[in-house]
Structure 1
Amino acid sequence: MSGEAKTRVPKQGASRFDVERHARSLRCSDIARAARLADLEHAIAHLVTRGAQSPADVDAGMLEDYVWNLENTGFTVETVEQRLAAVSTYFAWFIRTNKPARGQEALVNPVRGVRVAHSSSCPACKANTNDTTLKGQCAIRDGRLSAWQPSAFELSLTASSANTRAAYRRDVELFAEWLLEAGDDAAPNRVTKEDVRAYLAHLHDRGATSRTVARRIAALRRYFGWAIRRNMASIDPTEAMHTPKTKGRLPRPLDEQTVTTLVTTEDPDAPTWRRARDRAALEILYGSGLRVSEVCSLELQSMSSDKTTLRVMGKGSKERIVPLSSPATAAITHWLTLRNEVANETSGNALLLSSRGKPVGRRDVARLLDEACERAGIVGGTHPHALRHSFATHLMDNGADTRSIQELLGHSDAATTQRYTHVSKERLRLAYTETHPRA
């Protein structure tokens, strides 16, 4: 395989579709904007070859042909849905910014009638795997990129958490798809060091952070080690590959008053059960410092009989006991009196449930936190992990020792917990410079 492998996406027609102006309208990070722009340009290149000279020429048939082409080439279910979503967002923007003249028919988003051959929401993809994988084992989904056997690789990562396994699998799939777009016969035994270097250069051009690049290298190194053991590859193209040094990012905790306002705010228009569930989720996130994945995996039997502690399954299937704050205990107790209003046969023993009675997911928690931030007037919002950062930082600020905080957070490495010491030192420095007359 050539070391010059790179995505060969012709940009002809992009100016006629006003792609750059659409890209400027997207409210997202520069990295996400570059990714969406690349997805859109890839679709437009295909549409132009089918005779589309402008957005108004595109119909559902052209897009169905594009989706079929992606699926037939072997792109993953996630990539097909992601690219179709980018196209849908583009046409929604185009319709908003190009109002029809009087007497003309209103434009309709051509993506509306397009269906993918296989969706990531199929029952097999969403089946419960008891934390073996984040998604179920689906023959259609796992059949994509068959030469790379991503499903078998994911299942081989037995010592890693489900989130890590899913992330590594996705990293390998993205690399394989990048090779596919180069037009070569992409297979593990044909990959060279030049291909990997070209891919890393591609990531750099996209604006990927050193942390992202380091994880991609780690995933590929893990994959090719596995592929060599299975005789799927003869060399490891990542051998002696330099991993960029990642910059340690200090946590950005919220102050105590802001957290109190955030956790206690309620939506007066929401059903009583939802207000109770949201309050319980927020109290657990901050009161016990759990990861969002740990909150989502809590079960009814996770809480002790005296309702003072939670048994949590953390990263790497490591179990720990964390205390419950008094407000969290009260919030959970109140929620349990209303849980049956949404519980059904799909609920199982999950502690927190969605409106459909299923265990809450990461997006459910992120959504309820976004709504709470809006009610609390927190500009720019925050994310679930910020409450975990706040939990640890407030403990440190109030005199807790590092070892105790490490146990509460479930960190296997004390160096990870030391970040909160740095945050507290920064606060001390700020207090000193703002108050000392000779600072």
Structure 2
Amino acid sequence: MVFFIFMDATIIAFKDYLQKEKNYSIHTLMAYEADLLNFKVFNCMNFEQDSIDLVNYSQIRSWIVSLVEEGLSVITVNRKTASLKAFYRFLLKTKQIEVSPMLKHKSLKVPKTLQIPFSEKEMNAVLEGMEVGTGFEGIRDYTIVELFYATGMRRAELIQLKCVDVDLLNNTLKVLGKRNKERLVPILPAVKESLERYKQERMCLGEVVEGDYFFLTKKGEKLNNSLVYRLINSYFSQASEKVKKSPHVLRHTFATHLLNNGADLNSVKELLGHSSLASTQVYTHSSLSELQKVYQKSHPRNKEQF
């Protein structure tokens, strides 16, 4: 049986609300739309119900079970159900429903995973091994690695960084974070040198297709997610045996190294662009581990023999 799935007027209105009222990015809007359409297809196939406005929670629970049986991670399932929750909140807000079917829903419990940051030794090994690089791509790659480590930027933030956002005169970067929230990040002297060197190489590119963006391919095009991921994974595979080697691990490394060297949690929160300290506290486990080592080494009671 073939189902032709059309976009509900309510889904279109919901997307319009998220874009205009909440200022969500295009990527977030696409994710919400995909989740809602996925749920709509499920309801068509299993309950012969084309509209998702007036479903009940048993239908939603069946969908969640199917997602888990497909092998999707708990985080992915929770993200999809969060899309539904937001959709029904919108229907409540616009008085299209009186009670949300997600009212009593609880997110699936996420198993705790330990994010292991790169050590300072590994970071130095990568940067020294790159030797600032030669040619456009070598210099660009070195600058990207150094910028990730020095600022804790997200991958999307680095990709979206524009030439006008890089203020080398005042040593700041204007970073556009989640939900289009802007923040200023200071530029360290060593990073400034790398940025200036890259700018010189960038000026020597031939045809530039997307010139507004600061980091480009050698063809003058804007970087993409997979290219940046491969770049980080490739360089760090030569210096680290850690399983996960990604831009997000570099963000984690930035926060952990700052905290280990005495930075206060609130300052790290501002640099990372988090809206609350709760988000930043994810990065404190390594700092606590470092503190524990110092504590055990220094406390008189630990020196006593029992």
**What TM-score range do you get, normalising by the shorter chain?**
0.7 to 0.9
Distance between the aligned counterparts of 2:137 and 2:159, measured in 1? 15
What residue in structure 1 maps to residue 18 of structure 2?
A: 157
What residue in structure 2 maps to residue 32 of structure 1?
A: none
Deviation of the 1:168 alpha carbon:
2.3
Task: State the Cα deviation string for residues 106-158 of structure 1 (Å, max 9, x = none).
Answer: xxxxxxxxxxxxxxxxxxxxxxxxxxxxxxxxxxxxxx632366454333213
What residue in structure 2 maps to residue 390 of structure 1?
A: 253
Structure with max Cα Rg: 1
Kept after mapping to 2: 8 A contact 1:188/1:227:
no
What secondary structure, in the 3-state scheme, does the structure 2 residue paired with 1:310 have? strand
What secondary structure, in the 3-state scheme, does the structure 2 residue paired with 1:306 have? coil
Note closer, same or farther for the CA distance 1:281–1:434 as it changes in structure 2 (3 Å cut).
same
Query: What does residue range 35-46 of structure 1 map to in structure 2 within 5 Å?
Result: none
1:194 is the counterpart of 2:72: no
Aligned with residue 375 of structure 1, among 228, 235, 238: 238
Q: Which runs of 5+ in 1 are unaligned?
A: 1-68, 75-143
For residue 171 of structure 2, what is the amino acid of its counterpart? T
What residue in structure 1 maps to residue 37 of structure 2?
A: 173
Task: State the Cα deviation string for residues 184-220 of structure 1 (Å, max 9, x = none).
Answer: 2432245222110111122333444443333222210
Question: Under a length normalisation based on structure 2, what TM-score does the superposition of the two structures give?
Answer: 0.83
Task: State the Cα deviation string for residues 298-339 of structure 1 (Å, max 9, x = none).
Answer: 111212242622111112222211111233212211111111
Which of structures 1 and 2 has the larger relative contact order (alpha carbons within 8 angstroms, sep 6+)?
2
Aligned residues: 299
Question: Under a length normalisation based on structure 1, what TM-score does the superposition of the two structures give?
Answer: 0.60
Distance between the aligned counterparts of 2:90 and 2:55, measured in 1? 14
Aligned with residue 301 of structure 1, among 160, 164, 178: 164
1:315 is the counterpart of 2:184: no
Kept after mapping to 2: 8 A contact 1:251/1:423:
no
Query: What does residue range 121-132 of structure 1 map to in structure 2 within 5 Å?
Result: none
1:328 is the counterpart of 2:185: no
Q: Which runs of 5+ in 2 are unaligned?
A: none
Note closer, same or farther for the CA distance 1:401–1:225 as it changes in structure 2 (3 Å cut).
closer
> Share of identical aligned residues, percent?
26
For residue 273 of structure 2, what is the amino acid of its counterpart? G
Give RMSD over aligned pairs. Answer: 3.2
Note closer, same or farther for the CA distance 1:266–1:180 as it changes in structure 2 (3 Å cut).
farther
Distance between the aligned counterparts of 2:38 and 2:285, measured in 1? 36
For residue 193 of structure 1, what is the amino acid of its counterpart? Y
Distance between the aligned counterparts of 2:51 and 2:271, measured in 1? 44
Distance between the aligned counterparts of 1:260 and 1:267, measured in 2? 11
Distance between the aligned counterparts of 1:400 and 1:384, measured in 2? 21
Kept after mapping to 2: 8 A contact 1:188/1:233:
no
Note closer, same or farther for the CA distance 1:361–1:240 as it changes in structure 2 (3 Å cut).
same
For residue 182 of structure 1, what is the amino acid of its counterpart? N
For residue 155 of structure 1, what is the amino acid of its counterpart? D
Kept after mapping to 2: 8 A contact 1:263/1:372:
no
Query: What does residue range 34-113 of structure 1 map to in structure 2 within 5 Å?
Result: 73-74=3-4
Distance between the aligned counterparts of 1:180 and 1:342, measured in 2? 52
For residue 324 of structure 1, what is the amino acid of its counterpart? I
